[in-house]
Structure 1
Amino acid sequence: MSHRRIGVLGGMGPAATADFMHKLVLLTPASCDQEHLPVMIANLPHIHDRSRAILGQGEDPWPQLEAGIELMNRIGVGVLVIPCNSSHHWFDRMSACSEAPVLHIASASVSAIAATPASKVAIFATRGVISSGFYQQALARRDIGFWVPGPTQEQEHIDSCIRLVKAGRLEEGGRSLELALRGAQSAGADTVILGCTELPLASQYVPAPQLTLIDSSLELARAAVAYGLERRWNTAPWIAPPD
């Protein structure tokens, strides 16, 4: 029997995971508790910094990511989602050791973009995600033009925003994000992928952004809900995970 529940490998960071779960619940068309999708969450904030590792500046998080996936395998889930963009640098390895399909956050995000010949999409993410290049590759596959912030100015504002959100200083993070958005607009972007799951938490403090914002956490939640609803997991009887 397939495991009729969504697995969330989270904690990267905890606020982003809570935000993801809030979105997943709101996106589910339910009128009572029993019509919601079963979800198993592993909130593992001890996992080493993914972006620093990609850049060769920090400890390797792969053993911890692998242990998290093995935990979800033992619990038994039907699909796995990871509301952390930087962790998707290891997507192929995560997919290989997961017994359930793993949804890709960049694929979900890019699929939400209405591409036009004049469109230019700015990628706001950690330096590790930019270095990894999976957003650039996903956009190129759809022939969507993109703009990547340089290592100074806009990227420094993005870095600052992420740090502030992780420290619980969301309003200050919003001010940093607003400065980065102004730079993207000056560069000719009309759409911005918020390719770090901390960024959407700050975006609520940006007054009337002039660009279309693609919330990677929201799009991953949409994909997870669609996956579960297509398989009618919201109507399946509850089966307890093994001890």
Structure 2
Amino acid sequence: MNSFGIIGGLGPMATAYLLELIIDMTDAKTDQEHLDAIIFNRPSVPDRTAYILDHSKPSPVPPMIDMAKKLEALGVCAIGTPCVTAHSFHEELQRSVNVPFINMVQETAAYLKNAGCKKAGIMATTGTVHNGLFQRALSEIGLSYALPDDAMQQYVMSLIYDCVKAGEPADMEKFRTVSDALRKEGCDAIILGCTELSIIKRDNAIGSGYLDALEVLAHAAILACGKKIKPKYISLLN
């Protein structure tokens, strides 16, 4: 049976939620019909945004490559990681193994294109924004985008680091303020482009018009490993 390999711990809660999403989205009636998964939960991997903004900080790439190679040796058919910012190193990670390393950024952009989206708002870490991950992926397929201004980006980082990563409830006033600012820029969808933001969507009624990159990754993992999606999860953009 095909197994999916997960480079986890980036962060720990997002890793647990990815597995939950894969289980919930798979069209399975018995235990045996679910997807096999192998998870390395290694939260000791250095912070991705810190390294992107300051290369004197410890690099997260060597431990991620180490996990990818170990997963390949264990026989997985595809690999993914529940960390959008880590996709700044996607090419290097993909070169380190011979099995597909799912690119959740490109998968998210493609999903929006297929859904008929014209302009996407981007909520993500400063590292992801700094490296232009979603901006490039969207531009390459002809979609426009909007980013939070500096004050709103500080709100996004507070939601990620001060709330979810710290194990605290999300400040939904900040979440709604950023969302409203992006809607005013003409965005017809907002990308939850950090997997800590996925936890906010899980735990709060945020409304419609959001695409969760972690849900996109779960979707892609199930299909890559030859399983079927439950009908209610065919559409991820509500």
- How high is the TM-score relative to the length of structure 1? 0.86
- State how far apart, in whole Å, the 2-side matches of 1:175 and 1:45 are: 29
Residues 9 and 69 in structure 1, CA contact (< 8 A), matched pair in contact too: yes
Max Rg structure: 1
Q: Does 1:165 align with 2:164?
A: yes
> How many residues are aligned here?
224
Q: Does 1:188 align with 2:186?
A: yes
Match of 2:7 among 6, 9, 27: 9
Q: Deviations over 1:196-221 (max 9, x none)?
A: 00001112455453x51010000010
Q: Identify which range, 51-60 or 32-41, moves more after superposition.
A: 51-60
- State how far apart, in whole Å, the 1-side matches of 2:187 and 2:43 are: 33
- Residues 173 and 48 (structure 1), Cα distance of their counterparts in 2 relative to 1, 3 Å cut: farther
Match of 1:217 among 214, 218, 236: 214
Tell me by how many angstroms 1:129 deviates: 0.6
Residues 6 and 80 in structure 2, CA contact (< 8 A), matched pair in contact too: yes
1:46-195, aligned counterparts within 5 Å?
A: 46-56=44-54, 58-113=57-112, 114-116=115-117, 119-150=118-149, 152-163=150-161, 164-169=163-168, 171-195=169-193
Residues 2 and 226 in structure 2, CA contact (< 8 A), matched pair in contact too: no
**Root-mean-square deviation (CA), in Å?**
1.8
Corresponding residue of 1:198? 196
Letter in 2 for 1:115: G
Q: Deviations over 1:54-86 (max 9, x none)?
A: 111632111111222122123221100111101
* Identity fraction in percent: 28
Q: Deviations over 1:83-113 (max 9, x none)?
A: 1101110101100112311110111111221
Helix, strand or coil: the match of 1:153?
A: helix
- State how far apart, in whole Å, the 2-side matches of 1:142 and 1:212 are: 20
Corresponding residue of 1:32? 30
Residues 49 and 128 in structure 2, CA contact (< 8 A), matched pair in contact too: yes
Residues 9 and 68 in structure 1, CA contact (< 8 A), matched pair in contact too: yes
What are structure 1's unaligned runs of at least 5 residues?
233-243
- Residues 22 and 174 (structure 1), Cα distance of their counterparts in 2 relative to 1, 3 Å cut: farther
Helix, strand or coil: the match of 1:130?
A: helix
